[in-house]
Amino acid sequence: MPPSRAYPAQGEAARTVTLSFDDNALLPLLFGEHDRHLARVEQRLGVRISSRGNRVTIGGTAESAALAESVLRALWRRLERGDATGMAEVEAALRMADGPPMPENGSDPRLPLADLPAIRTRKGAIAPRSRTQAAYMDMLQTQDMVFGTGPAGTGKTYLAVAQGVALLQAGRVDRIVLSRPAVEAGERLGFLPGDMKEKVDPYLRPLYDALHDMMPAEQVARRIVSGEIEIAPLAFMRGRTLAHCFAILDEAQNTTTAQMKMFLTRMGEGTRMVITGDPTQVDLPPGQKSGLVEALSILDGVEGIGITRFAETDVVRHPLVGRIVQAYGRADAANAAERPRRATRE
């Protein structure tokens, strides 16, 4: 998370912006309980915000005051549409307004949160919560094959499932195919009881969770029974051709080279594929090359394939998750820098 700015830094001209809002009933929702939304904007952008009646005054540098104005206007438009606006939406608006530069093929970096396109499912619209998410959603709509890589909590899999559900409900694909490699995350689970579905379900639980966020549970169950939604371990993909479907391979960092090539070549007519994973969280045996890492190198620049790389600043879960990811990133960087020095001393 970027550090808060000082208000105003030496040499920077101060600016004051005054906003008027025409619906006093919505103002408490904009401000948050005990003005906590305004306090968060102040802390993140280094501005001072005061309110009197339906008028809000923002003081800070020209840049920070403009960013704060953009955030408050975006949140206000959400409220006018009747959308929920809590601390998560405030954090999203801040990331959209003050995040890192967008990838070259991303959406307009200055579009406020409320004006960006959303993935629309029958259970509601899902909007981007960071600039990188906006670029990723654009790729999901325009590219036949998309790779989404980066830390946990950035929305890689969630948005891919949302796009698949939207296309299925619109009749643009016949089914959704969700798959993961059945690799244990650093621990041996041993023999699992039950039939095949019961054995593999623990590995595929995150995909079920995403589906249930976007469709009623009974509809998910009905579509699974009818075959419109298929959830299967990667090993079941061999020898198949996936036609007229939306296929997602999650946790792809735990595929081998052969498994990755096998999955990518299942693509048939009218199919879109999304491959997601975190290259820093490989659970393969030591010395085993990750199929995801290799594919990103081989396929970069291939026409029809989009690659979105999420960063630590794109984590949209609890704010503490982002700080945890950043702390581990610093530790990994420090360890990597220490290895050559240890080798030289030895």
Task: Give one DSSP letter per residue of 174-187, joined into a string.
Answer: SEEEEEE----SSS
Q: How many CB atoms lie under 10 A from the CB of residue 235?
A: 12
User: Do 32 and 174 belong to one domain?
Assistant: no
Q: For the residues 260-282, what does the mean pLDDT come to? A: 95
Q: Does 321 reside within a domain?
A: no
Q: Are residues 186 and 303 in the same domain?
A: yes
- Look up the CATH number of the domain holding residue 204: 3.40.50.300
Task: Give me the CATH number covering residue 56.
Answer: 3.30.1370.10
pLDDT at 118 over 80: no
> What band does 168 get if pLDDT is binned at 50, 70 and 90?
very high
pLDDT at 104 over 50: no
Q: Do 266 and 151 share a structural domain? A: yes
Query: Is 167 found in the same domain as 235?
Result: yes
Would residue 146 count as lying in a domain? yes
* Residues forming beta bridges with residue 230, ordered by sequence position: 177
Could you tell me the pLDDT band of residue 259, with boundaries at 50, 70 and 90? very high
Are 313 and 99 within 8 A, CB to CB? yes
Distance CA 301, CA 304 (A): 9
The DSSP code sequence of 269-310 is: TT-EEEEEE-TT---SPTTPPPHHHHHHHHHTT-TTEEEEE-
Indicate if 292 and 154 belong to the same structural domain: yes
Residue 252, pLDDT above cutoff 90 = yes
- Kindly report the pTM of this predicted structure: 0.74
Compute the distance between CA of residue 248 and CA of residue 282 in angstroms, rounded to an integer: 18
Q: What is the mean pLDDT of the chain?
A: 82
130 with 256, same domain?
Answer: yes
The residue segments making up the domain with residue 265 are 125-315
Say yes or no: 208 and 88 in one domain: no
Average pLDDT on 279-308 reads: 92
Is-contact 343 335, C-beta < 8 A?
no
pLDDT tens figures, 34-91:
999 999 999 989 999 999 888 999 999 999 999 999 899 989 988 988 887 888 888 8
> Is residue 159 one of the residues assigned to a domain?
yes
Q: Are residues 147 and 62 in the same domain?
A: no
The number of distinct structural domains making up the chain is 2
Q: Are 86 and 227 part of one and the same domain?
A: no
Q: Which residues contact 153 (CB under 8 A, 6 or more apart)?
A: 315, 316, 317, 321, 322, 325
Same domain? 188 vs 265? yes
pLDDT per position as a tens digit, 181-233: 876 444 444 455 555 566 666 767 888 888 988 888 899 999 999 999 998 88
Q: Is residue 337 part of a domain?
A: no
Residue 340 contacts by C-beta under 8 Å, 6 or more apart in sequence? none
Q: Residue 225, Cα to own-chain centre: how many angstroms? A: 29
> What pLDDT shows up at residue 316?
79
Residue 110 lies in a domain: no
User: Which of 98, 117, 138 corresponds to the end of one domain?
Assistant: 98
Look at residue 293 and tell me whether its pLDDT is greater than 70. yes
Residue 106: which pLDDT band, with cuts at 50, 70 and 90? Answer: very low
Which has more pLDDT, 72 or 313?
72
- Judge if 213 and 78 occupy the same domain: no
Residue 331 has pLDDT above 50, yes or no: yes
- Note whether residue 335 is domain-resident: no
Measure the CA–CA gap between 45 and 7, rounded to whole angstroms: 9
Contacts of 138-142 with C-beta under 8 Å, sequence gap 24+, read 138/105, 138/106, 138/107, 139/105, 139/306, 139/308, 140/274, 141/117, 142/306
80 and 136, same domain (yes or no): no
